[in-house]
Amino acid sequence: MNRAPGNFYRKGQSGAERLSGERRKAVIVRLWHYLKQMKKPFIIIGLLVVTGNVLSLIGPKLTEPSINAITPGNVDFGTVFYYASLMVICYVSSALISLLNTFLMSTVSKKITFNIRRDLFNKLSRLPVKFFDTHQSGEVISTLSYDVDTVSASLSADLIQICTAAITIVGSFIMMFSISRVLLIIFVFTIPASILFSRWRAKKGRPLFRERSGKLGELNGYAEESIGGFKTIKAYNREKQFIERFDVKNEAAIRAYYRSDRHACLAGPSVNFINNVSLALISLFGALLYLYDPTVMSLGAISSFVLYSRKFSAPINEITNIYSEIQSALAAGERVFRLMDEPEEAPDVTDAITEPITKGEVEFKNVSFGYTEDKTVIHNLSLKVEPGSLVAIVGPTGAGKTTMVNLLMRFYDVGSGQILIDGVDIRKRSRDSLRKAFTMVLQDTWLFNGTVYENIAYGSENVTEKDVMRAARAAKINGFIEALPNEYQTVLTDNGTNISKGQKQLLTIARSMLPKSVILILDEATSNVDTRTEATISEAMTDLMKGKTCFVIAHRLSTVKNADIILVMKNGDIVESGTHDSLLAANGAYAELYNSQYS
């Protein structure tokens, strides 16, 4: 199968500048869907934001009567202390409300994060196997963890800051308008400068932050893939090459971070410069107005206007400073929702058959299939397997053996033809009823972080401890389990790294003995056990196979001698079929494979 690491991160990247505005709006709309679910808390937060900011905006206005109460040779201390006390009350109340608001928003943000991550993980469970065959797990994990956290951080911090900034800007403007309309003329020049600069930064910053998120995903994917195969890296003495490739991807990620951060760092100094020019002009013209006519512009009014101008400018500077975080969050949100929009498994047909499969008769009718449109793996395959038969599938690597299993389980759908089970096209059945008919033991063992008991009971409902112990004895693994410190309650960690590969395989075989299925698939199921252990579990496997239609994929031909029929596959075709003895007598492809192993 063709592998395209990280493909879903790059989908639709052509014409990024032209479409970035549309994608940004789409991300905001999708996030708004999650925000609406927390309507009541947001109403409370909104009221607190307004109240806190109004109190904060009253403060500078109180400086005007305080300063005007001070004249040369005379100070009205009562007036000064009165208005100063009101200022303290306003600012302290505003600070407490802001603290409460931050706490509430953090709580709401955590809930939204939980909902996004839950929906994303649920989405992963509905994606077809093809998606996981063609995408690096590290990049998917990066989206599930890093990108969702980035969105969460922006929701908890940036959202309140933006709302606060908007109220502060509007409130400050109204207060400055009430103090001096003449001095407001200065902002006719400074505000457009700030807006134009912010728009320029937005246009330049979007692709930089998108690239940063993508490069981090690629780095995580490579790291996860490499760490998973670290033993192989050391066995082949490839540490140097591993480090060199990691350095290349790490350097690419660092360069992307550097470019985005360098662009973001221009914001603060540039906007501060514009704001300081504005402050200087306000101070200059305010002083001239005071000298011209103190009744038109008092010292207290100048002080209040300066404070409001600072309040007016600070949020603009603040918004510019957090814009990089917003862009990063939108880029992360874009990746999250793009993953959520990946096509799911095709839904079951209307009125899909849900009755359980009871016999296990399997038939392939003129089946053709390819993982990609330009390369067919299975060619016009026809085959009928009677219930209870033992079918062995052998052949060289890449012959199409595992592909047959993928098609049987509907991990992939056939390109043409039909697969029938008990005379019914599997596409007419619900996937749930279809897959309940199968039990699989794969070459790649999978154990999760949990007890031995939980790992064996996985996939079976209403099993008892006696059932689990019986399965362990049948798989010849009970002796090993009973020697563990906590026996069946011993916790297996890190995909079972505290036990051997052979023991992992035996545990998965024990797991397969619990479900009451009618079809059994063994895909190189004994590849991780030695020949002595293989012989030991043969009897148990024979008991497991009784009454079931069995498909055994094997390279070790000693395991398929007793099969009712052996299918020899090559380049997607069945080139030979028959029993072990008849195929040896034919002296064809099977005999060649057998003799290559045992001659």
Q: Are strands 390-394 and 565-570 parallel, antiparallel or unpaired?
A: parallel
Q: With contact defined as beta carbons under 8 Å apart, do 104 and 111 qualify?
A: no
* pLDDT one-digit tens code per residue, 74-91: 767 788 788 888 888 988
The superfamily in CATH containing domain 362-598 is P-loop containing nucleotide triphosphate hydrolases (3.40.50.300)
Comparing 525 with 8, which gets the higher pLDDT?
525
Q: Find the range with the poorest average confidence among 6-15, 140-149, 540-549.
A: 6-15
Domains in the chain: boundaries: 31-340, 362-598
Kindly report the CATH class assigned to 31-340: mainly alpha
- Residues contacting 314, CB < 8 A, separation 6+: 168, 275
* pLDDT one-digit tens code per residue, 144-158: 777 887 887 777 677
Comparing 42 with 270, which gets the higher pLDDT?
42
Q: What is the largest CA-CA distance in the chain?
A: 124
Residue 554: CB atoms within 10 Å:
21
* pLDDT at 317 exceeding the cut of 80: no
> CA of 93: how far to CAs of 26, 99, 100, in Å?
38, 10, 11
CA 214 to mean position of chain CA atoms: 13
Strand 362-369: give its sheet, edge to edge.
378-385, 362-369, 416-421, 424-425
Provide mean pLDDT across the span 374-383.
80
CA 474 to mean position of chain CA atoms: 39
Q: What pLDDT was estimated at residue 12? A: 38
* pLDDT at 17 exceeding the cut of 60: no
- Residues contacting 231, CB < 8 A, separation 6+: none
Q: What pLDDT was estimated at residue 231? A: 56
Q: What is the mean pLDDT of the chain?
A: 76
Q: With contact defined as beta carbons under 8 Å apart, do 92 and 98 qualify?
A: no
Helix axis angle for 16-36 and 77-126, nearest 10°, is 100
CA distance 159 to 267: 19
* pLDDT one-digit tens code per residue, 397-448: 766 777 888 888 888 888 888 888 888 888 888 888 888 888 877 766 677 7
Provide mean pLDDT across the span 472-493.
79
- Residues contacting 390, CB < 8 A, separation 6+: 545, 550, 552, 562, 563, 564, 565
Q: What pLDDT was estimated at residue 108? A: 83
